[in-house]
Amino acid sequence: MDHPAPRIPSHFPRRHRDLHPRVAPLAGGIITTYFTWHWIFLINVPLGTVAFIAALRLIPAEARKTPPPLDWIGLALTCTRLGSLVYLGSLLAERDPGVLAMIGWAVVGVGLVGFAIVHQLRTRHPLLDLRALRIETFRLSHAGGSLFRLTVNAVPFLVPLLFQDVFGYTPLLSGALVLFVFVGNLAIKPATTSLLRRFGFRAVIVIASAAAAVSMALMALLSSATPAWLVIALLTVSGVARSAGFTAYNTIAFADVERAEMTDANTLASTLQQVAAGFGVAVGAVALRVGDGFASGSGAFGFAFGVLAVLTAFSTVEALLLSRTAGESIRPARAQYAAVSSGSPPARGRLETTTGC
């Protein structure tokens, strides 16, 4: 069965899609050093205005179709469950959150999650159609893939705190060093499609997630005496693993999704990705707070990075359990890859990767 390969329109250059996360840490350091912290938020007003105008000009108008009725119950359950879990995370990050409050919000959050899952599996037009998780490749991308996104998005949150609060670096220097995470991210981009073609999704995801876990474990060993070149090398390798993993997960996500189910699957995928990215900061903050309870300075950060490394290892285990043929519907055979590499016309069903965060 042939499925359309996931792709991003070629008229929107990939280097522009990947620019914003790379410059954000350095831009934040410049703003806090030479301006006030208020501009970290105020700068989004002109940027958002430009993006809105660009969207009006660039996104083609399409014929409107009658949408299914909005799942109001699903909307209410989704918003309240996420809000409950976010507030629980904020409680866990406090020094003295209160046991009863934590237990209460945990029960409420887990209960709402259960109610939402039951509702979304039974209703005809759910806000989030969970049935796409039946598909192995989609489930991998949004189970182990969500765990991978969660942990790697916590790294740019924890590393600047370590540099500034423990090592005493300025925000500008800290942002400049974190930029090397995204240097590695950018450097591997041209090779990711070739790696996926030659080795397949399973191998790339296993290696990328394992490398990310190892890099986080090594970050736990950083100290103010660590040579700058070693810090830069570690952050660059972390960025390489981050980019390769994101690209593989995002590309394989829709490999086996039928066209009729693509809209619902895309809605679920976008939601899970944003939730994972948001909870990455929360998990990093909670792990840091727990580590601060029995260690100080770099010790607390070491514990937090260790927690992230263990969590990332779970995504590696899931990738190891993935069938070896997963994603083959959008991956050309090696003979076809060799023909493309030698200059012959590309085979039908050419793989086009989808970039990550």
Could you tell me which residue, 345 or 25, shows the higher pLDDT?
Answer: 25
Measured distance between the N- and C-terminal CA atoms of the chain, rounded to whole angstroms: 30
Mean pLDDT over residues 108-117, rounded? 88
d(CA 260, CA 262) in angstroms, rounded, equals: 6
User: What pLDDT is recorded for position 38?
Assistant: 82
pLDDT tier for residue 236 given thresholds of 50, 70 and 90: very high
52 has a pLDDT exceeding 50: yes
Query: pLDDT averaged over the chain?
Result: 81
Contact predicate 201/254, CB 8 Å: no
For the ranges 22-36, 131-145, 323-337, the lowest mean pLDDT is seen at 323-337
Domain positions in the chain are 1-47+135-357, 71-126
For 273-320, the pLDDT digits (tens) are 888 888 888 888 888 988 887 877 788 999 999 999 999 999 999 889
Mean pLDDT over residues 236-260, rounded? 89
d(CA 269, CA 273) in angstroms, rounded, equals: 6
Measured CA distances, 103 to 83, 85, 107, 119 (Å)? 15, 12, 6, 24
User: What pLDDT is recorded for position 186?
Assistant: 86
d(CA 158, CA 177) in angstroms, rounded, equals: 13
Mean pLDDT over residues 51-59, rounded? 87
| Nearest C-alpha neighbor of 253 from the set 147, 136, 148, 348 | 136
Contact predicate 332/349, CB 8 Å: yes
User: What pLDDT is recorded for position 196?
Assistant: 87
Contact predicate 279/139, CB 8 Å: no
257 has a pLDDT exceeding 90: no
pLDDT tier for residue 69 given thresholds of 50, 70 and 90: confident
Query: Which tokens is 83 given?
Result: 């809000």
User: What pLDDT is recorded for position 36?
Assistant: 78
Mean pLDDT over residues 213-238, rounded? 93
Mean pLDDT over residues 15-33, rounded? 62
97 has a pLDDT exceeding 80: no
User: What pLDDT is recorded for position 49?
Assistant: 92
Measured CA distances, 229 to 24, 160, 164, 239 (Å)? 22, 17, 18, 15
User: What pLDDT is recorded for position 27?
Assistant: 72
The identity of residue 244, as a single letter, is A
4 has a pLDDT exceeding 90: no
Torsion of CA 259, 264, 267, 271, to 10 degrees: -130
Domain covering 1-47+135-357, topology = Growth Hormone; Chain: A; (1.20.1250)
User: What pLDDT is recorded for position 25?
Assistant: 65
330 has a pLDDT exceeding 80: no
d(CA 24, CA 252) in angstroms, rounded, equals: 27
Could you tell me which residue, 6 or 303, shows the higher pLDDT?
Answer: 303
User: What pLDDT is recorded for position 174?
Assistant: 86
Q: At what angle do helices 171-219 and 334-341 cross, to 10 degrees?
A: 140
Three-state secondary structure string covering the chain: CCCCCCCCCCCCCHHHHCHHHHHHHHHHHHHHHHCCCCHHHHCHHHHHHHHHHHHHHHCCCCCCCCCCCCCHHHHHHHHHHHHHHHHHHHHHCCCCCCHHHHHHHHHHHHHHHHHHHHHHHHCCCCCCCHHHHHCHHHHHHHCHHHHHHHHHHHHHHHHHHHHHHHCCCCHHHHHHHHHHHHHHHHHHHHHHHHHHHHHHHHHHHHHHHHHHHHHHHHHCCCCCCCCHHHHHHHHHHHHHHHHHHHHHHHHHCCCCCCHHHHHHHHHHHHHHHHHHHHHHHHHHHHHHHHHHCCCCCHHHHHHHHHHHHHHHHHHHHHHHCCCCCCCHHHCCCHHHHHHHHCCCCCCCCCCCCCCCC
d(CA 86, CA 100) in angstroms, rounded, equals: 17
For tokens 């810090």, the residue is 231
Contacts of 180 (CB under 8 A, 6+ apart): 232, 235, 236, 239
